Amino acid sequence: MTPFQASRRAFAATLAAGAALFAGAALAQAAPRIAVTDLGYTQRVAEYFEAATASQQSAMKATPTSLSASGSASMTYVAGTHSYLEHRELRAFSNDIRGALLKGTSFRLVQGKGFDAGDPQPTAAERALQQVKTGKIAKPVRQPDVNDIIARIRKGEFAGADYVLFGQLSSIEFRDAFSPLQGTSSATHQYGLDLLADFSLIDTRTFEIKAAFSAQGAGNDTKLLSARGDVMPPNRAKVMRETSQSLAAEVFAQLGEQLSLDRALAPRLRGASPAGGANAPAGAAPAQPEVMILR
């Protein structure tokens, strides 16, 4: 090989490497950026309050020929129960969803800000006391709504994201059951968690909903006790981990099924579910519950 041919081959290799690098950079730039929210939920909270005010005045005047006295007293007492809606986020079941998207798609993930619940509000007792003193009813300030995802996008909680995968907790239930085994001195102790959440994939520019579905996660810990007197606490960490992973698998499967018809987003999905869900490779054995036997 002549020096000219070697130089020409090296130049061609450099050009090919540059073209591949440029194509990779262009592909990365074109990949949509997605923010995954923590599961939002709303719960009703009730608080008992008491408020009281008291005042007393007295005067006495004495002269050689007379004695006069005057006095006044007042007391105001207010008590009751105040209920209100509290908006929060559940931060325990989102990371596995982010991991499934990282492993199963070419999307780029953007870390959004946590939900801003607003400034602390005066308690019911403080508002009642102010009303007693001034005679004016203090109106509570409207707090941000965790489910108002449009307002949160406009507020800038997901800056830099092209899409937001918004999750809203629908139901969460712990199960704790103790079942004797008939004909034996053994019993089973089952501790489980069932979780249901609603998800929406929202375009941050047009607020168009690209996908909407419900997904369920479940985890279980079963222990076989050899005698009625055995005590073994459940493995709550294992139950929460299984629930999180099964929820992520179903979210990925539902998202892939609904986006498969979207020409812009379908090419970003890879074949198999990384979390072992509905799109898992054939022949994969489902996870078996762990059983601990005490003897």
Tokens 């089973």, residue located: 188
Distance CA 286, CA 193 (A): 18
Which segments in the chain show pLDDT lower than 70? 1-29, 43, 45-55, 59-60, 62-63, 66-67, 69, 71, 73-78, 80-85, 118-126, 129, 132-133, 135, 137-138, 140, 227-231, 271-295
pLDDT for the residue 281 = 37
CB atoms < 10 A from the CB of 219, how many?
24
pLDDT value of position 287: 45
* Sequence ranges of the domains in the chain: 32-42+87-117+142-280+287-294
pLDDT of residue 13: 57
Residue 212 β-bridge partners: 200
Going by C-alpha positions, the residue among 28, 165, 142 that lies closest to residue 87 is 142
Interval 42-74: pLDDT, tens? 767 666 666 666 667 776 676 677 667 676 766
What pLDDT, in 10s, does the model give residues 137-177?
667 677 788 888 999 999 899 999 999 999 999 999 998 88
Beta-strand runs (E) in the chain? 33-36, 39-62, 67-90, 108-109, 163-180, 187-203, 209-225, 291-294
CA 232 – CA 291 distance, rounded (Å): 12
32-42+87-117+142-280+287-294: CATH topology is: Double Stranded RNA Binding Domain (3.30.160)
pLDDT of residue 260: 82
Structure tokens at 280: 């898992």
